[in-house]
Amino acid sequence: MRKLLTSALLVCATTVLGSGLAHAWFIQGQVVCAIDGSAVPGVQVQIASEPAGFAGSTSTAGDGGYVFYLPDSPGCYIVSLVLGAGQTAVNPASGTFEFCTTDANREFTQNFTITTPSCGGSTTGLCWLTAGGAKFSSITGTPVGQSGPQHSWGGNVYPGCSPTAGDGGDWNHIAFAQKLHFHGRHIVVDRCGNIDGIPPGSTSPATPFNYIEFHGTGTLVGIQGNKADYGTVYFWAHCEDRNEPGSSGQRDGAGKDRYFLHVFSNLADPNGSTLLLVDIDGNPATVDPVTITDGNMQIHISSCSDPALAAAEAASAKSLLYSDRASGGSSTSPNGPASVTGTSWGRLKTLYR
């Protein structure tokens, strides 16, 4: 009897081991909250081969994990998240990942970061942004080159708190040293919240938040003799509205507004396909926003709780954008795009073409 039982257990162990070996080709990962890194269970994850022939679907477990066992032969696949109401993919921004298996590469890990109402508590909410500014050389303390700043940027995000107005907004960035012009034309707000280490909220206008993060698609082309044209590109940005004034008139360094921008070409490998980066340490994997030296970032919450007002605010924001451009701009307007005065605005106004 004992010999029979031992034999049976040996057969079971062999069966389990054989099953594990049969599934040596796989992809696994975890879906986590972008705000606090907590696991997000119950997110639907799908996979499909390219060309078609293999497909599957699962939901993340309690630890946010998922796994797909793949055919034990080389093939290409795309994994995608199916997000629900209030959920937004942050990294990768597309919510998808493409990969190909080979005899040498059979195991893959791909994690996803999202925002969702179930995580992060009250640290996020609705807001929108108007902005304009310039970053000068921190080495010389003076404008670099005859063109002035190293970087100039400006635009609006969710004007009037409307995600549909102008396809989510309009964002421009000129990198003078690289002779590149980035134009973000489709924008999605990921979250609004507060930076640790400074008082929550911002002033002029008064809001409960002091940062906004957003992503989207746009174009990146060369300027001033640079013939580069990267076509459609992807981006992720982080802006901090720390105080008023937000730059040169602010004596407290901690009160100056800050800015991070990452433009890349490959959704499956954002860090490895960086085309343009505004960051302190030059590492796109860590968000280290630069301190702006001229201009302003202004976060708004007006009309965010009223769709009808949002539409009206969007129209007003667009009107103010072009009236400011025609008049030369003002560094104190709390409603229009936060601009800069004098020659700096002369450079920035071309951003609103």
pLDDT digits (tens, 9 = 90+) for 205-218: 778 788 899 999 99
Q: Are residues 80 and 135 in the same domain?
A: no
Q: Which of 317, 321, 339, 343 is CA-nearest to residue 330?
A: 339
Q: Which of 214, 162, 116, 197 is CA-nearest to residue 318?
A: 162
Q: b/e per residue, 219-232, with b = 16+ CB within 10 A? A: ebbeeeeeeeebee
Structural domain including 81 reads 25-115
pLDDT on residue 66? 97
Q: Are residues 163 and 185 in the same domain?
A: yes
pLDDT exceeds cutoff 80 at 330: no
Q: Which of 277, 335, 295 is CA-nearest to residue 128?
A: 335
Does some domain include residue 120? Answer: no
Q: How many domains does the chain have?
A: 2
pLDDT band with cut points at 50, 70 and 90 for residue 23:
low
Does some domain include residue 18? Answer: no
Least confident among 65-74, 125-134, 245-254, 308-317 = 308-317
Distance CA 184, CA 263 (A): 10
pLDDT on residue 247? 43
pLDDT exceeds cutoff 80 at 141: no
Distance CA 314, CA 183 (A): 19
**H/E stretch holding 40:** none
pLDDT exceeds cutoff 80 at 82: yes
Q: Are residues 83 and 178 in the same domain?
A: no
**Per-residue model confidence as pLDDT tens digits over 152-193:** 888 889 988 877 777 889 999 989 889 999 999 999 988 888
pLDDT band with cut points at 50, 70 and 90 for residue 57:
very high
Q: Are residues 323 and 174 in the same domain?
A: yes
Task: Choose one of 115, 145, 164: the last residue of a domain.
Answer: 115
Give the list of residues 6+ apart from residue 176 with CB closer than 8 angstroms, or none: 144, 145, 147, 148, 149, 150, 151, 152, 224
Q: Are residues 230 and 340 in the same domain?
A: yes
Task: Choose one of 93, 115, 137: the last residue of a domain.
Answer: 115
For 144, the token pair is: 């670099």
Please tell me the pTM assigned to this model.
0.52
